[in-house]
């Protein structure tokens, strides 16, 4: 690819959402919530992120989805971070609902129970969060931000950062799954130290 091709900028029309015109990198998580019937629902989300350096986590959803309605009613949800080799299981959690609103594909998914809230996780993930609803912020077009406070968390030993473990080796042996919207994914097992400037602090103070 020529240098001109890589540096030439293309203006995008703003009368339609821009996000399917290029790739970005996002996590892929599976959010669990409790249905009105008492059953549990699992649904994949990629617009998801920690909310501050404290124990808050949020994701984007839409009021028409069962996940939104479940969390608004039950005020709690779980978050599973699947491994790259679990991508098919994460995909199954997006299976369509039947006329009775059930999701038969969920019967194929291995799960286990949360410890602090009434919820389930997707087994064979590497990180598990239990969240109490903090707030819902509506009005991002048709979408909403669901924010929760993390009240319990578990991480697989192979993915746990420790003083006697090299970060590069952890990620090499326990790759992370990244979602590249609008429809691709990647396994991340090669990483590099970020070149922070001398004296950098994450709180922004000198």
Q: Are 28 and 46 in contact (CB under 8 A)?
A: yes
Backbone angle region of 38, left / alpha / beta, with phi > 0 → left and psi within -120 to 50 → alpha: left
Measured between alpha carbons, how far is 122 from 80 in angstroms, rounded to an integer?
6
Tens of pLDDT along the chain (206 residues) come to: 556 777 899 999 999 999 999 999 999 999 999 999 999 999 999 999 999 999 999 999 999 999 999 999 999 999 999 999 988 888 878 776 666 666 776 777 899 999 999 999 999 899 999 999 999 999 999 999 999 999 999 999 999 999 999 999 999 999 999 999 999 999 999 999 989 898 887 765 54
3-class DSSP state of 100: coil
The residue to which tokens 């821009």 are assigned: 18
Q: Catalogue all structural domains in the chain, each as residue range(s) with its CATH number.
A: 22-188 (2.30.110.10)
Q: Full-prediction pTM beyond 0.85?
A: yes
Measured between alpha carbons, how far is 147 from 3 in angstroms, rounded to an integer?
42
Q: Are 59 and 68 in contact (CB under 8 A)?
A: no
How many angstroms from the chain centroid is the CA of residue 37? 25
- pLDDT of amino acid 199: 83
Q: Are 121 and 106 in contact (CB under 8 A)?
A: no
- pLDDT of amino acid 89: 82
| Residue partners of 172: CB distance under 8 A and separation at least 6 | 189, 190, 191
Cα torsion through 149, 79, 58, 104, rounded to 10: -130
DSSP sequence for 156-170: -GGG---TTS-HHHH
């Amino acid at each position: 690819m020529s240098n001109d091709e890589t540096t030439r900028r293309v203006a995008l029309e703003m009368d339609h959402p821009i996000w399917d015109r290029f790739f970005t990198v996002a996590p892929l998580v599976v959010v669990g919530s409790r249905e009105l019937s008492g059953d549990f629902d699992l649904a994949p989300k990629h617009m998801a992120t920690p909310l501050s350096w404290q124990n808050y986590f949020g994701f984007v959803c839409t009021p028409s989805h069962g996940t939104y309605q479940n969390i608004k009613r039950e005020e709690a949800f779980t978050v599973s971070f699947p491994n790259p080799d679990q991508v098919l299981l994460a995909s199954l959690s997006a299976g369509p609902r039947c006329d009775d609103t059930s999701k038969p594909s969920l019967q194929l998914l291995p799960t286990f129970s949360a410890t602090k809230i009434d919820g389930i996780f997707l087994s064979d993930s590497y990180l598990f969060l239990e969240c109490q609803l903090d707030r819902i912020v509506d009005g991002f077009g048709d979408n909403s931000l669901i924010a929760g406070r993390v009240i319990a968390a578990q991480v697989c030993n192979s993915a746990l950062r420790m003083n006697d473990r090299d970060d590069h080796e952890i990620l090499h042996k326990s790759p992370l799954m990244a979602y590249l919207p609008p429809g691709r994914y990647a396994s991340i097992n090669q990483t590099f130290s970020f070149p922070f400037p001398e004296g950098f602090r994450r709180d922004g103070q000198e």
